C-alpha cells in the first residue's frame, strides 16, 4: 500500500512479527551477542594525533583487530565514531533493543557530558567505558569521568587492549 503526498510517495510495508518460539530461542544463553563500539571526538585521527599517547594504529586498523577478537568470542560488532555529542547520544539510544552491550570511548566528553551519561543510563545496556591512554596519570581534568558510574566497568591505559578486555568482559556476561 502506498500514499502520494506533499513529500512524495510513502510506501507502507507490512510488519513482520516473530513467533514466541523464535523469541525464546533468541534469549538462549550462549547466543551471539551484538556489541556496539562507540568512539567519540578525535578518534578518527588515531595514528596521527599524539601517537606517543594514543598509539600508531589508525581507527580502521584498531577496528580490524577488534573485529577479529569479536569473531573469536562469537560477538557481532558494530563500529561507530562521531565528533558530535548529539550523534553519539542518538547512536546510544539506537542501541536499545538492537544491541546487547556497548563499549564506549567518549573521548573528551568523558569529563563533562551529562547528556551521554544520561543516554547510557536510559538504555540500560551493559556498558564498558574504555580509554587508550591512562587517564589517571594525565592532566587533572582527564581523571574525572561523569560516565563511569553508569558503566559496569572502566578500562584505561592499555591501548587497543582496553577494548579487547571490554569485549572479553561483556562476553562473560552472556
Give the helix/strand (H/E) hosting 20.
helix 20-26
CB 79 within 8 A of CB 114: no
Query: Active-site residue among 54, 80, 109, 163?
Result: 54
Q: Is 111 a catalytic residue?
A: no
Query: Active-site residue among 80, 109, 131, 163?
Result: 131
Residue with cell 578525535: 42
| 88 vs 40: CA distance, rounded Å | 7
If one counts every other C-beta atom within 10 angstroms of the C-beta of residue 164, the result is 20
CB 126 within 8 A of CB 173: yes
Catalytic residues: 54, 131
Amino acid at each position: 500500500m502506498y500514499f502520494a503526498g506533499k513529500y512524495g510517495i510513502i510506501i507502507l510495508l507490512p510488519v513482520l512479527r516473530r513467533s514466541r518460539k523464535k523469541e525464546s530461542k533468541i534469549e538462549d544463553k550462549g547466543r551471539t551477542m551484538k556489541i556496539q563500539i562507540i568512539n567519540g571526538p578525535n578518534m578518527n585521527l588515531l595514528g596521527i594525533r599524539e601517537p606517543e599517547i594514543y598509539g600508531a594504529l589508525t581507527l580502521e586498523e584498531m577496528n580490524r583487530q577488534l573485529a577479529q577478537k569479536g569473531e573469536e568470542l562469537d560477538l557481532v560488532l558494530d563500529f561507530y565514531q562521531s565528533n558530535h555529542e548529539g550523534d553519539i547520544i542518538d547512536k546510544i539510544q539506537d542501541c536499545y533493543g538492537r544491541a546487547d552491550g556497548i563499549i564506549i570511548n567518549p573521548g573528551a566528553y568523558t569529563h563533562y557530558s551529562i547528556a551521554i551519561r544520561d543516554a547510557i543510563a536510559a538504555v540500560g545496556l551493559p556498558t564498558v567505558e574504555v580509554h587508550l591512554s591512562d587517564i589517571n596519570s594525565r592532566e587533572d581534568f582527564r581523571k574525572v569521568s561523569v560516565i563511569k558510574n553508569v558503566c559496569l566497568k572502566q578500562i584505561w591505559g592499555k591501548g587497543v587492549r582496553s577494548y579487547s578486555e571490554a569485549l572479553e568482559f561483556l562476553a562473560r556476561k552472556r
